A = this chain, B = another copy of it.
């Protein structure tokens, strides 16, 4: 095409174009007066950054003397692991590792999954190709920094050239960190941990190939560059997040998620629900500051963008449709397959846009559990499953965030089957909150608020303090104050609202 392009007057035309754009797109985005459908949003953000690009000072971008920390983001980057999806596809993994010329594979799992069909398939597949591998099956659920350090120490002497994670999010996240620190032997553990708790160093080396085989339909960790763990000393959830941490390939085999008890299906699915809702409603990428001075500093959690929107909204619709079916009927293979697909799609969505309040608030909720033991979880000690702790605040959270973008919240309510034709934009939050509360109630065995988890007003201050360190996700929360005391008040009100819904 280009060879027949008109070259003359290029510069002049460009300037005209940009000047026109500047005046035809007012900063207050007109699209927010349309139903908040992601096409409109695409228009929204594209117009907005077209307009921003029109400002000469910013057109010069990195070349400009202007302080980038003063500039808002002007670009987004979409990165995802390759995803292979199919029933029985686990059996291909030996050939994949051979195709990658892997000689020594570290297989990461936990003691329960190690006994399941998924690991049997994996062992057979690797043996069939004559691949040398060692299995680490001591991964902890909700891993702590020290359990991850043990895993890292375990792997060092084996020095693998590829990793294979088989399990839920805890397993996949642990494998990511084993791979990371195995490739940075000299690094301090806190170097890559998210700021403010860690140094948030970017990953600038090529890690070894990592293949992830999820056995739950929840975290979407098989597609993301995020690894979450508890920093015991700080009693806070944190992690490492960089797109170079993402697996090479996610192998999604619906036959591997059949063994989840329905209580686990429900809480994993609620994690998917919040991944999609939070990434769909996160601040737009081009409202985020600062503009990175180097693309490697552009966070994976960059705010909602036109591509993450497509994934988030599709995952939301699929979850609303298939989660209740997969929880109620353990033999509904279609619903289970769809939930695994939804978990992965939501993973691509939030992996590139981020999550915000539900996840930020969930960490202290799970961590400061007053003694609640969730029904259907056959464990001795108290447990608030991650998905439960995330979903319990959802009605209050989206009632709060709706004002930032009523049309997106109306679109979300519509995904729950609400007829929004005559709903006022001011009611978007209320309508979505009701739809969420009803969805949770209909799903069954879900707490109708923090009270049912054993929390009272006396716990709220500590819950707020446990949320504050989640800066990385809180900065994506629309409408949350930048000033610390104001932010504390807002979080306090959100936790109070969440006592009962």
Contacts and interface: CB of A to CB of B under 8 A. Distances in A.
Interface of A: 1-7, 10-11, 13-14, 16-18, 20-21, 25, 39, 42-43, 46-47, 49-50, 52-54, 58-59, 61-63, 74-80, 82-89, 91-92, 95-96, 99, 110-113, 115-117, 124, 128, 140-141, 167-171, 204, 215-216, 218, 243, 254-255, 258-261, 264, 267-268, 294-296, 305-307, 310-311, 314, 317-318, 321, 330-331, 333-334, 337-338, 341, 345, 377-379, 383, 385-386
Contacts of A378: 4, 6
Given A5-B264, A14-B255, 9 more contacts: A1-B260, A2-B116, A2-B141, A4-B379, A7-B116, A14-B259, A46-B338, A47-B334, A77-B83
A8 B331 CA distance: 16
B76 A79 contact: no
A20 B334 CA distance: 11
B84 A2 contact: no
B1 A216 contact: yes
Nearest to A50: B333
A2 B170 CA distance: 9
Interface of A, helix, strand, loop or mixed by DSSP: helix
Given A116-B10, A168-B2, A268-B1, A82 B243 contact: yes
B76 A1 contact: no
Given A1-B218, A39-B317, A112-B7, A17 B258 contact: yes
A88 B76 contact: no
Number of copies of chain A assembled together: 2
Contact of A1 (B11, B46, B168): B168
A318 B42 contact: yes
A56 to B, nearest CB: 11
A5 B88 contact: no
